[in-house]
Every structure is written in structure tokens, then in C-alpha cells.
Chain A
Amino acid sequence: MDMSQYRDLFVSEAREHIRTMNDLVEALSRGDEDGELVASLFRMAHSVKGMAASMGYQVIADLAHRMEDLMDGVRKGRLSFDPGAAALLLEGADLLEAMLDEVAQEGTVTADAGSLMGRLSAHTAGMPVSGTEAQAQDTVHSITTASAPPLPPGRERKDSRQTIRIRTELLDSLINITGELVTTKYRFLDVAQEMNSPRLEEVTADLSRLLHELQIQVSTARMLPFSTLADRFPRAVRDLARSRGKEVVFEVEGTELELDRGMLESLADPLIHLIRNAVDHGVEPSHIRQLAGKPPAGKLRLTAERGRDQFMVVLSDDGRGMDPAALIATAIERGILTPEDGWRMSAEQAFLLTCQPGFSTASEVTDVSGRGVGMDAARASIQALGGQFSIDSIPGKGTRMVIRLPLTIAIITVLLVEVGGVVCAVPVNTVVRTVEVNRNCLEERGGRTQLFFEEANIPVVSLHGLVGRQATSAGPVPLVIAEVGTERIALAVDRFVGQQEIYVKPLGRPLSRLAWLSGGAILGDGRLVFILDMAGVALRAGI
């Protein structure tokens, strides 16, 4: 029998069980000793075992079986749920998750579970397990979370709403079609005005209201709770704190708030980096904290808040904080800043220097936060989502990092500009200001045109070069002052067309290779426009 058609369902359901297993282990580790929690954990492992066996994934079934055996021992009172058991079960959940990733992508499992299964069996048999228990003992007590613990079966909240599983591709398709309908609506409006038909305008207005409602409903269907992302962080903090020999109390709030699925997926990497960075560099070791009169355990808090038109994620710690003057001095020393620019820099801009590539010194780069995505890439990822990133910090008191995101990534507001007859879109979240200046306000320095703006020299980039057209006007130059990381650039254009909401269409290959374009859109009149990526434009211009 061909079981491949059931594979997605198996992966999806097994992942949910594993997520619940993680929650239950965390709850039991906090000391929420409860026979029902233990029984529930046993049943989760049992279910994964049964599902995997029926699908023919024997190695997954075997690993789940060993975890089930351990929990059976705890359930019957033969074993205690100690830190060693917790560490083994969490390691097992991680490995199961990795195996499911393989199943989802390749349809087969190649991961080796032999070592872990041996240790699980040894622990279940009451034999000592090297390393695990001693390591786990250090930090298990130091992790807490403010999110509600999972409810075991029998205590489940009654939910009268009926739910069904839908493939995420279908939801993506629905949002695409809705976006197309929004574009078509603008075309209807144009036609109604051209025909001067009040009746058609009236019908189009009705269509517009229905489309707005559809857009809201489809966007809502794509929403997932923040917990989908945040639930993995207590583990990450626990493991990291252990490896760094630190004590960290981790709190999460707002896990029930919902955000677009695509946004959550794209937020995972930058957020995990910020958390790692906070544990690694922000929170001090216990002995240093005590010398400073602080509690030995550092406090790390992740909060999600939802505003009218934005989603805010705040990560704060009570660690060593940052001194803006010291950051500026370091940047000058490394040639990232000129002393002149350093003097003019605000504290907020100085904190963002940590997002400059090459800012960290070798001594600060660790095997944790110095690896993989950096602060610069984290900030770029947030901006690519149409979001904003800011840092506030007080030396000795702590640091607060704030991510502000639009509620959906599919529809963004852009400033449309015209250059040589070509219309381009600039995301408004990157625009600082639009100005028109006389040409004598611009000066040539080092072979580059610059504008003196708000006490700083900003390089001017003509978009005429980008679209391959010559500038024709000799009059005032319309400029879009835009942010690129911590820097600013001024884009010279022919005229500002205006702001508009657009439905963003991602670019496939080969257009995705053009770093200065982040997407495209179809305007109401059917014209195609491309959305400029400020970092890519600056890079192309050699800035």
C-alpha cells in the first residue's frame, strides 16, 4: 500500500505530539509534579511510536519506544523524574524532530538514534548515564516560563469550534488570490472612473467592502500563535545557559497572540540569534552579578504585544548593558566610523553599531553568538519583513531590543517614485524623509555626490543609473532619504508619485539574483513595478 499520501499528515501530527512532549517535560522540570502530566507524556511517546510504526519508520518507533519505557518507569513510581530523565527526553524530542524533518524532505530517515536509545535504556534500567545528569542538574532549576503549562487530557479547555487541517500551501494560495482580487478591484475603479458610470462605481464599492472582509478572513486563517515560535526558546536558553555556565530565568509573555505564519517562520532565525546574543553577551556570570548587587540568576524576558497595525516583540535582559560612548569609540578604532560622524551619533544609533558587519572583535566572538546569523543579518531579516529594529540600553542595568513588524507581509505600503519614465517602489518603512533640493546643495567629495542632511553627509545615488536612463531635468532634485542599516542614502528621482498599499509578489529565479530588488507588484492600472531593496541599491552603487 502506498503510504506516501499520508506522510504529511503523519509529520504534522507527530510534530504536534513532540511539541506537547517538550512542554510537558518543561512543566515537570519546573516541579509541577503531577501524575496526569507523567501519564500524558507517556501517551505522547506511545502515540508517536504507533504512528511511526504504521508508516514504516521503524527507527522513529524504536526511539519513541525507549522514551515510552522511561516514562512508564516514572509512571509506575519505579523511577523519579529527575534532571537526567528530563535531559534524555528533551534530547529524544530533538532527535525525533530532526527525523521528522528528514521524513518531510526526503521521505526516509538516516539519523542514527543508537547512542541515545542506549542511554535511555540504561537510565530506565537504573544504570548511571555518563554526563547527562550532572550537566542537567546545573541549570534545570533556573529556567521558568510565564506561559501557561499545557493541560493534560481530561483538563482540556472545551472548545466548541470545529477545526480541520489545511495544507499551508492552500492558505498561501488563498492569500495570493485575494491579493490578485485587490489588484483587480483597482482596475475596476479605474474603468468606472473612465466610463463615468455611477452604477459601476457603486457595484465596485460593494465589491471593495466584500474584498476587504475576505482579506481580513484569509489573513486571519494564516495566523498562528506566537507560542508556535516561542515554545522552542526555553530549551535554547536552558542549553545555552548551561554551556556558558550561567544562570538565566527566562520568561515569555504574549504567547497566545497571533501573527502571520510566514512572518513567524521568517522571525525564527533573527530572534534566536538575539536571544543567544543576550545570554552570551548580555547576562553576566553569577559571581559578577553578585558583585554588582544583582541576583545571581540573570533575567531574560521575551514579550509579544499586538497593536492596531503592528506586532511588537521585545527582548529585555537585566545584564551588563551597553555604553554608547564605548561603542562609538570601538567603531572609530575599527575604522567603521570617522571621529566626525561618531561625535554626531545619537545613543540609539550607537547601539545599532552592534548590527554593523565586523563590529565584534575576535575576543567577543564565541562559539554561540559568533556563529551563523549575526546581528547585522538579524536586523536585515527584520527589515526584509517590512519591520523595524531598535535597541535601548543602560550600562549595568540591561538591554531592551524591540522588533516592530507589520501584521502581514503580503501587503505593504510603498512610496512610488518615477525615474526616467520608470515607476519604482520604495518600502515606506525604510524612508526617513522626502526632500527637494537645489543642485547647489549637493557637493562632490571623493568622486561621490553628497548631501549635507541633519548634521551628516549622505551619499546620493541616482536611480537613473539603475534604470538605465539619463536625468533630463536641470531643476531641483527630488530625493528620498532612506535608511540602510545604521546609515542613510539619498535616492535621486524625477518625481514622487505617491504612497500606495501593494500586494507583494516574491521574485523567483533569475530575478531573485538581482540584490537591489526585493519583490514586485501589479498596480491597479495593470502596470508592473519592482520594489527596491535599499541595502542592495547601496551595495550596487558601491556604498
Chain B
Amino acid sequence: MLFSAGVWRCAVPIGEVAEVIELPALYPIPGAAAVLRGAINSHGRLLPLVDLSLLCGMESGSASAGKVIVFDNFIADMALLVDDMHEVRSSGDILEEDEGEVPCLTRQFMFADGVAHLVTCQGVLAAVERLLAESRSMVATCDGVATEA
């Protein structure tokens, strides 16, 4: 399934997609990194919404628009915020597969009409968890002014 995130055209294996929805109400996740834009209620599940543009080092799109890809994967509970959805392509349309050029997106497909970067649940999860592990802890004080630990 093809979609766009920032300036990139991306592809997610359709088998990893549970559903695609409009951006629902977002709720803050205390202490989470900025790439986790908030939590959504997906049929009773609390899912963090990963901003793919931010994760790939680009500027984030609008906070109030975009589409949400909910992953269907046993290894992670999360959803992906992207700019827009495009069409579904068959794997037979892939002319060539190559190493990716975008951080976090390590594979790319060449279609007749251009490149699409492969986005997988496992790849996104690994990138997010790496980011969470690297984020430095903050020491908070009673007046609400946070200082670096």
C-alpha cells in the first residue's frame, strides 16, 4: 500500500495493516519522545501514534490532519501518522529492490513511476525504541522548570 510522508513516497506491506483511519482524537503520553505524537483509542486499544516524518528526520506535517495506519502485528501495538494514502500495488509491479537512502527506511522499491521506501512495523518499532533508549532523562523540580540530568 503506497502512501506519502513528508517528501517521501513510501510502501507498507498490506499484510501488516489492520486499518487506515482519519486522524482521531490524540491524548498526550507523559514523558514520551516527540515522535510519539500522542495516544489514540483504536477499538479499545491504546496505541501510540508514531509520526513517520519526524522519525525520518523531517519536519512534521500538520498536527490536526493526516491519515493513520494501524499496524496489525503481534510484536508491537502502534499506529503510524502519515500525510496521505495512495493506491495498492502488486508486488509484481516492483521493477527493482534496493537499499534505502532514508534513515529508518532501509529498503526501497523501484516502480515504473518512481521509488517507494519500504516501511515495516518491525523497522519502525526498532527505530522508535532506539530513540526512546537514547532520550536523556529529565530532572524535574517543584516549580516546573526542567533541567538536564
Contact = CB atoms under 8 A, between A and B. Distances in A.
A492 B142 contact: yes
B76 A510 contact: yes
Interface SS of chain B: loop
Contacts of B144: 462, 464-465, 469-471, 492
Contact of A465 (B46, B133, B140): B140
Contacts of A167: none
A211 interface: no
Contacts of B32: 511, 514
A522 B141 contact: no
Contacts of B149: 542
Contacts of A239: none
B76 A508 contact: yes
B30 A463 contact: yes
A511 B46 contact: yes
A458 to B, nearest CB: 11
Interface string B120-149: 000001001100110001111111111001
Interface stretch (B37-45, B61-69, B84-92, B105-113): B37-45
B138 to A, nearest CB: 5
Interface of A: 176, 180, 183, 422, 424, 439, 442, 448-449, 460-471, 477, 492, 505, 507-511, 513-514, 516-517, 520, 522, 526-530, 532, 539-542
Nearest to A526: B41
Interface string B8-39: 00000000000000000101111110001001
Contacts of A468: 28, 31
7 contacts: A183-B44, A461-B140, A462-B142, A464-B146, A466-B30, A509-B78, A520-B39
Contact of A460 (B25, B39, B125, B141): B141
A179 to B, nearest CB: 8
B142 A424 contact: no
A180 B31 contact: no
Contacts of A461: 140
Interface residues of B, number: 35
A463 B140 contact: yes
Nearest to B39: A528
Contacts of B138: 465-466, 540-541
A475 B134 CA distance: 36
A541 B141 CA distance: 9
A509 B77 contact: yes
A188 to B, nearest CB: 16
A514 B132 contact: yes
Contact of A505 (B36, B40, B45, B142): B45
Contacts of B143: 439, 449, 462, 471
A509 B76 contact: yes
Given A508-B77, A520-B46, A532-B30, A442 B142 contact: yes
Contact of A541 (B125, B129, B133, B140): B140
A514 B131 CA distance: 12
A109 to B, nearest CB: 25
A465 B144 CA distance: 6
A511 B30 contact: no
A539 B27 CA distance: 24
Contacts of B39: 511, 520, 528, 530
B77 A424 contact: no
B29 A522 contact: no
A233 B44 CA distance: 39
A13 to B, nearest CB: 27
Given A505-B44, A529-B27, 5 more contacts: A439-B142, A492-B144, A507-B46, A517-B30, A522-B46
